Amino acid sequence: MLDLLDVQKHFILTHLRPGDTAVDYTMGNGHDTEFLSKTVGRDGKVYAFDVQLNALNSTAKNLEKAGCDPNYTLLCASHHRVKEFVHEKVRAGMFNLGYLPGSDKKITTMHETTLAAIDAAIELMDKDAIILIAIYPGHAEGELEGRLVGERLAQLDRHFYTVACFRMLNSPTSPFFYIVEGR
């Protein structure tokens, strides 16, 4: 069985190196933050965003338990505010849209702030950078968010960006992801 997270990490690892800067735009429980932290190493930087304080606390515990270098900044703020906190070029960004696993499923990412965050993420992209956006269409906001994100990304100039979608065609409510690569 194909593991979506392994496929995502494969794409990130083709761009992200030790010493780079990365952003986890949707911190959740910190699994992507941990992956990014370990990948950029001691000399790199990772910024992670979530609007829920319990996500930040859970992530901090998980990063400490995993023995990550203190190369991360955890922010209890919406991902659309990224440019207030990140003032450098970013080599890799990860979005895992939807709701915090193990939490209130009524609290989800919303397409308005997600689209603004993606626009900001694209502006912050370094050369040879990647943004990975995981979509969870199994609920109404997730379906809408996925459609609107796809429409927005389809408008990017192909001379500057490569945009792809990785989706299971025979399982329409399964998670899928978009990849944006800078040329």
- Write out pLDDT tens, residues 71-105: 999 999 999 999 999 999 999 999 988 755 656 55
Q: Where are the domains of the chain?
A: 26-95
CB 60 within 8 A of CB 68: no
Angle of the 53-65 helix axis to the 31-40 helix axis, nearest 10? 50
CB 45 within 8 A of CB 71: yes
Q: How far is CA 97 from the centre of its chain?
A: 8
Instruction: Tell me if residue 105 falls in helix, strand or coil.
Output: coil
Q: Taking residues 133-145, what's their average pLDDT?
A: 83
Count of CA atoms in the C-beta half-sphere (13 A) of 78: 15
pTM score, two decimals?
Answer: 0.93
Residue 132 — pLDDT band, cuts 50, 70, 90? Answer: very high
